Structure 1
Amino acid sequence: MPKPQPKPQPMPQPKPLQRRALLTAGLGAGLSAAGALASPAQAQQSAPELRWRLNSAYARSLDILFGASESLARAVAEATDGRFQIQVSAAGEMAPADGLLDAVGSGKAEMGHAPASFGMAKNPAFALASAMPFGLNARGQNAWWLQGGAAELFAEIFAKQGLVALPGGNTGAQMGGWFRKEIKTVGDLQGLKLRVAGLGGTVLSKLGAAVQATPGPEIYAALESKALDAAEWIGPHDDEKLGLQKVAPIYHYPGFWEGGALLHFWINAEAWKGLPKTYRAVLQGAAAQVNADVQARYDARNPQALRRLVSGGAQLRPFPQDVMEAALKASNEVYADLSAKNPDFKRIYDAMKTFRNEEYLWFQVAEYTYDNFMIRARARG
Structure 2
Amino acid sequence: MDRRSFIRKAGLGAAATAGASTLAAPMYAQGRRTLTMVTTWGRGLAGVHDSAQRVADSITEMTDGQITVDLKAAGELVGAFEVFDAVTSGQADMYHGADYYFVGQHPAYAFFTAVPFGMTAQELANWYYHDGGRDFHDELGQIFGLKSFLGGNTGAQSGGWFRKEIKSPEDFKGLRFRMPGLGGEALGKLGASVQNLPGAEVYQALASGALDGTEWIGPWADESAGFQEITKIYYTAGFHEPGAGLSVATNLEVFNSLTPSQQKIIEMAASECHQWNLAQFLTKNGQALQRLQAGGVQVMEFPSSVWDAFGKASAETMNAYMSDDIFKRVSESVQKSMESSSGWIQASEGVYRRERDRVMAAG
Q: What TM-score do you get using the length of structure 1 for normalisation?
A: 0.86
* 1:192 equivalent in alignment to 2:175: yes
Q: CA contact under 8 A between 1:252 and 1:319: conserved in structure 2? A: yes
Match of 2:309 among 317, 320, 326: 326
Which position in structure 2 is the counterpart of 1:291? 274
Residues 211-290 of structure 1 correspond to what in structure 2 (within 5 A)?
211-290=194-273
Q: Quote how far apart the aligned CAs of 1:234 are.
A: 0.6
Distance 1:98 1:116 in 2: 10
- Equivalent residue, structure 1, for 2:350: 368
Matched, 1:174 2:174: no
Secondary structure of the residue that 1:128 maps to in structure 2?
helix
Could you list the per-position Cα deviations for residues 260-296 of structure 1 after superposition, in whole angstroms to 9, with x for gaps in the alignment? 0111101000011111111112221211211111001
Deviates more, 1:286-295 or 1:263-272: 286-295
Kept after mapping to 2: 8 A contact 1:265/1:287: yes
Q: SS in structure 1 opposite 2:330? A: helix
* Alignment counterpart, residue 60 of structure 1, candidates 43, 50, 54: 43
Partner letter of residue 250 of structure 2?
I
* Distance in 2 between residues matched to 1:305 and 1:249, nearest whole Å: 14
Deviation by residue 1:117-162 (Cα, 9 ceiling, x = unmatched) = 1210011111112100000000000111111101112322222111
- The AA in structure 2 aligned to 1:324 is W
Q: Which ranges of structure 1 fall in alignment gaps of 5 or more residues?
A: 1-28
Distance 1:379 1:199, change over 3 A: farther
Q: CA deviation at 1:218?
A: 3.2
Deviation per residue, 1:60-115 (Å, 9 max, x gap): 22242212222222222222222211111111111111110111111111111011
Counterpart CA distance in 2 for 1:134 and 1:179 is 21
* Corresponding residue to 1:70 among 53, 60, 65: 53
Q: Give the Cα separation in 2 of the matches to 1:159 and 1:38.
A: 33
Question: Equivalent residue of 1:310, what SS?
Answer: helix
Checking the alignment, whether the CA contact within 8 Å between 1:175 and 1:235 is kept in structure 2 is yes
- Cα distance change, pair 108–186 in 1 and its aligned pair in 2 (3 A): same
- The answer for unaligned runs of 5 or more in structure 2 is 17-27
Q: How far did 1:379 drift?
A: 5.3
Instruction: Tell me if structure 1 keeps the 8 A contact 2:237–2:301.
Output: yes
Give, in angstroms, the shift of residue 238 of structure 1: 0.6
Instruction: State the partner residue of 2:23.
Output: none
Call closer, same or farther: CA 1:188–1:145 in 2, change over 3 Å: same
Task: Answer yes or no: is the 8 Å Cα contact 1:253–1:319 preserved in 2.
Answer: no
Please name the residue that 1:133 is paired with: 116
Partner of 1:35: 8
Distance 2:131 2:166 in 1: 37
Deviates more, 1:80-89 or 1:99-108: 80-89
Aligned counterpart for 1:92 among listed residues 75, 81, 98? 75
- Counterparts of 1:39-50 in structure 2, within 5 Å, are 39=12, 48-50=31-33
Higher alpha-carbon deviation: 195-204 or 243-252 = 243-252
- Say if 1:107 and 1:268, in contact at 8 Å, map to a contact too: yes
Aligned residues: 350
Within 2, Cα distance between the matches of 1:46 and 1:164?
17
What does residue 99 of structure 2 align with?
A: 116
> Do the aligned residues in 2 keep the contact of 1:155 with 1:164 (CA within 8 Å)?
yes
Q: Are the aligned partners of 1:163 and 1:266 in contact in 2 as well (CA < 8 Å)?
A: yes
SS at match of 2:152: strand
Return the letter of the residue paired with 1:38.
G
Per mean C-alpha deviation after superposition, the further-off stretch among 257-266 and 357-366 is 357-366
The 3 A distance-change label for structure 1 pair 258 and 105 is: same
What percentage of aligned pairs have identical amino acids? Answer: 36
Equivalent-residue separation in structure 2 for 1:354 and 1:255 (angstroms): 22
Q: Which amino acid aligns with 2:303?
A: P
Please provide the CA RMSD for this pair: 2.3
Structure 2 counterpart of 1:343, one-letter code: D
2:336 aligns with one of 350, 354, 357: 354
